[in-house]
Amino acid sequence: MNPLYMLMIFMLVPLLLFALVAIKIYKRRNMIKAIIVYADRRVKSFWVKPDNNTISIDTRSYTVTKDDIFLSKNVPCYIYQADQPEPINPLNFSKSLMTSQDFNTAIEAKVAREIFNAVDKKLDAGMISMIMGAATILAVVVIAYLGNQSITMILEQLKEIRDILRIIGGI
């Protein structure tokens, strides 16, 4: 193959790719992104060109209003339910009765209430046996420590008595 043809191909391919990307960007400037939420919880997004404040997706038509638009990566987007022609405004949901901070406060209060309820419950047999076991182990450790000290003192006194008896000539 002729090197001149190879050079022309290597120069034309990037130019064609650039042209395709530019055309795609130009077309998207005139289009909007419509996100459709179906009753079976599927979500599909479509790129459509509005025609006199309406868009058509599949066989359904939807309205386009300036109030319900939101931007996603600087692209105008609308959210629709599949059955309703009016867009959903994601900033205007009235279903929530509390803010996220109120919800977090409620969760923390519930955790604190559960902790206090667990402390206030009556002691059952398992809890009593655990407390008794821990108290027994603590008592054994204290007695061993004190006994070790007193045995050491008794052994020192016996050693002194033995030394005194040797001096006197007893043993």
Q: Check whether residue 60 and residue 116 sit in a common domain.
A: no
In a domain, residue 44? The reply is yes
Residue 87 burial (C-beta neighbours within 10 Å; 0-12, 13-18, 19+): buried
Residue range 11-43, pLDDT digits in tens: 777 777 877 777 766 666 678 888 999 889 899
8 Å CB contact between 62 and 87 = yes
Measuring CA to CA, which residue among 155, 9, 35 is closest to residue 88?
Answer: 35
Residue 15 is part of which domain span? 3-88
Q: Check whether residue 109 and residue 76 sit in a common domain.
A: no
Q: Check whether residue 158 and residue 132 sit in a common domain.
A: yes
The DSSP annotation for 39-74 comes to TTS-EEEEEE--SSSEEEETTEEEE--STT-EEETT
8 Å CB contact between 111 and 105 = no
Q: Across all residues in the chain, what is the average pLDDT?
A: 79
Average pLDDT over residues 80-90: 85
Take residue 144 and report the two structure tokens written for it. Answer: 């061993």
User: Which pTM does this prediction carry?
Assistant: 0.46
Average pLDDT over residues 79-97: 78
In a domain, residue 128? The reply is yes
Is pLDDT of 158 > 80? yes
Boundary (domain end) residue, out of 29, 54, 88:
88
Q: Match 């599909």 to its residue by tokens.
A: 44
Q: Match 């655990």 to its residue by tokens.
A: 130
Chain center to CA of 46: 30
Percent pLDDT > 90 in the chain is 4
Boundary (domain end) residue, out of 55, 88, 121:
88
Average pLDDT over residues 90-97: 66
Residue range 121-154, pLDDT digits in tens: 666 677 778 888 888 888 888 888 877 777 777 8
pLDDT recorded at residue 43:
92
Average pLDDT over residues 55-65: 85
Number of compact structural domains in the chain = 2
Take residue 113 and report the two structure tokens written for it. Answer: 């209430």
In a domain, residue 77? The reply is yes
Residue 62 burial (C-beta neighbours within 10 Å; 0-12, 13-18, 19+): buried
Q: Check whether residue 45 and residue 76 sit in a common domain.
A: yes
- CA 74/CA 145 separation, integer angstroms: 75
Q: Check whether residue 58 and residue 20 sit in a common domain.
A: yes
